[in-house]
Amino acid sequence: MSFVKTKDGVDIFFKDWGPKNATPIFFHHGWPLSSDDWDTQMLFFLEKGFRVIANDRRGHGRSAQVSDGHDMDHYAADASAVVEHLNLQNVIHIGHSTGGGQVARYIAKYGQPQGRVAKAILVSSVPPLMVKTEKNPTGTPIEVFDQYRAALAANRAQFYIDVASGPFYGFNRPGATVSQGVIENWWRQGMMGSAKAHYEGIKAFSETDQTEDLKAITVPTLVLQGDDDQVVPYEDASLLQGKLLRNGTLKIYKGYPHGMLTTHADVINADILEFIES
């Protein structure tokens, strides 16, 4: 397995598939998952001739279960450690959910200043801010995230089954086609990681204001989200991203859930490919 050690001594696992001289696509996963959540996309784009890279966030998947650094600044720095280790140039960064926040912080703080970024894709992503505040009155009340923390601390295994079999993929909607394999794969990825990292990650994805990160992004950016996203409401995410990004393109999918990368991979993959090649 491949690892890179960060400046603060954390071992970060990463995958690097495909020709080293091909256009690189870097995938950033959501909470509380791992790079495995991108397997469908990585195989698809590998077949199209791209070099595909993804890392496990610290405390997630196969990366070290360290005590500290479970915040957007460290997430972005860890991604940058992989990019720098591989000396990637003209990279296309794709982030899902919390991974979208990681992409925004990485590009603003590292990718653009270093001249390493070509394009970005934000899928069902958390920026600019999820939690309800005076400045963000339509956000999700803090009590919802407190419930997440309580459920995780009480019975993480059951909580992860409930999330995957319910709102994440829209499997709780009438007439939904439920995949037990998808549910168990989500649970498997989640349980590989650290309970502490996941607990503290809730604050990272819900309370980090990334307005300035989005404003700083100048590369072409595609924003994708379903209008039936029960985890990250599109009115508080994608619509605002579209307003804050200088060079953004917004697409909303009718009826698609938060985990649409899995449930509607054929549509999403094709749209991302079209954007990359445009």
Q: Is the pLDDT of residue 236 over 90?
A: no
CATH number at residue 264: 3.40.50.1820
Report how far residue 23's alpha carbon sits from residue 277's, in angstroms, rounded to the nearest whole number: 11
**Tens digit of each residue's pLDDT (9 = 90 or more) over 107-165:** 999 999 999 999 999 999 999 999 999 999 999 999 999 999 999 999 999 999 999 99
Among the listed residues 52, 54, 55, the one whose alpha carbon sits nearest the alpha carbon of residue 19: 52
Q: Which residues form the domain of 200?
A: 2-277
What is the number of domains present in the chain? 1
Catalytic site residue 258?
A: yes
DSSP classification of residue 49: T
**CA gap 36, 69 in Å, rounded:** 22
Q: Is 229 a catalytic residue?
A: yes
Catalytic residue among 28, 70, 74, 258: 258
The one catalytic residue among 28, 229, 236, 238: 229
Q: What is the dihedral of CA 50, 55, 56, 58, to 10 degrees?
A: -160
* pTM of the predicted model as reported, rounded to 2 decimal places: 0.97
What pLDDT digit, counting tens, does each position of 46-86 carry? 999 999 999 999 999 999 999 999 999 999 999 999 999 99
Residue at 251: amino acid letter: K
Q: How far is CA 247 from CA 52, 89, 268, in A?
A: 24, 20, 20
Q: Looking at 97, 124, 194, 238, which residue is catalytic?
A: 97
Active site residue 28: no
